Each structure stands twice: as C-alpha cells, then as structure tokens.
A = this chain, B = another copy of it.
C-alpha cells in the first residue's frame, strides 16, 4: 500500500508520542512507515511542513465537536480548555503547535470560531483578533511548561539549592500546584479583562 500524506502525519504523531519532539527524526519516521528518510520528501517539502501538518491535526480536535451554547465567556473558556487538552493529548504537543503558524485549515477555523464568539457578544472585530491571539499565547506558554515539567521528573528538585526563604517557597509552590487549577485561574484573570472591555463598549 502506498503512503498518503495523512499516513505520514499519523505516523509522525505516533513517533512523537513514543520519542518526543527531539527524538522525532526523518530517518526514524521513515523506518516507522517502511520507507527511507528521503521518501518522506515526496510528501512534504521539508520537516517543518510535516510538523505544521501535525500541529494542525492536533489542533483539529478543538473544532471536531461543536461548541456548546451558552454565554460568550463560558464558550471562550471552553475553547481554551479544549486547546489545552488537545495539546496535552500528545507528548510535546504544545511545543509542536507553538512552532508553527496560523495558515493551516484547522488552526484558521479555530481562530475564526473564537473571534466570532467575541463579535457575537458585541466585541469589535479588530480587538477580538487581538484578544484571541493573546489568549493563545497564554495557553501555549502554560501548556509548554506543563509538558516540560511532566517530561523531567526532577522538576521538584529545581531550586533545591536555593535558600529557603518565604519567597522561594512560594515560587516552588507554583510548580507543585494542580496545573489545571492554575490554568483556569490565569485564564479567568484574562477573561475578567475582556468582560470589563465589553462592558465599556456595550453597557
């Protein structure tokens, strides 16, 4: 059976889960697919293009099922949580997605959906775009660190050589906290700002 573009993406994600982003090489992927490394280049211009397609597949989970109806802020929060979960579903998923840019179909669809949630609520179109990008930066940053922490078991020891001051203990407590709760907290700070702006525009 001949290889299709989608098979390469599927194989890439399987290899990603098995070896992580740093272990994802064209040679290993070729072996996994029963092909020499060079053969992949018939399907993808280069490794970056393949990673872009993988990223779009990961992000595709977000728009796979329709967003539940409800208040705009609940819908936006739901989207943010879905993105986080989609990224967490694959090893180094956040790093893969962070390294690619907006032009793939699922990513574009997701961005548009988020913008529409805001404009439907009365938010001006241009500022809605700014809000969506800003939120995405937060989600990516948070999840990248979550996965970095998950990868290295020795994260609890980070800063073990630091003096035991109240401040240092507070910093260490951050990385020991429940990631989901911490994610939600930061997301809500952000949404508070959006709510205020919306109240100004449409009182």
Contacts and interface: CB of A to CB of B under 8 A. Distances in A.
Interface in A147-193: 148, 155, 158-159, 161-162, 166-168, 170-171, 173-175, 177, 182, 185-186, 188-193
B185 A126 contact: no
A125 B190 contact: no
B137 A171 contact: no
Contacts of A137: 137-138, 140-142, 145, 186
A185 B130 contact: yes
Given A177-B130, A189-B193, A192-B196, A170 B125 contact: yes
Interface range for A: 35 or more
A82 interface: no
A88 interface: no
A102 interface: yes
A166 B138 CA distance: 25
18 contacts: A101-B155, A102-B159, A103-B158, A108-B159, A108-B171, A112-B171, A126-B174, A129-B170, A130-B185, A130-B186, A131-B186, A134-B142, A134-B189, A136-B141, A137-B137, A138-B141, A190-B193, A192-B192
Given A98-B141, A108-B168, A136-B141, 20 more contacts: A101-B148, A102-B158, A102-B175, A103-B158, A103-B161, A112-B168, A125-B166, A129-B174, A131-B189, A133-B145, A133-B186, A134-B185, A134-B186, A138-B138, A138-B141, A188-B193, A189-B192, A189-B193, A191-B193, A192-B193
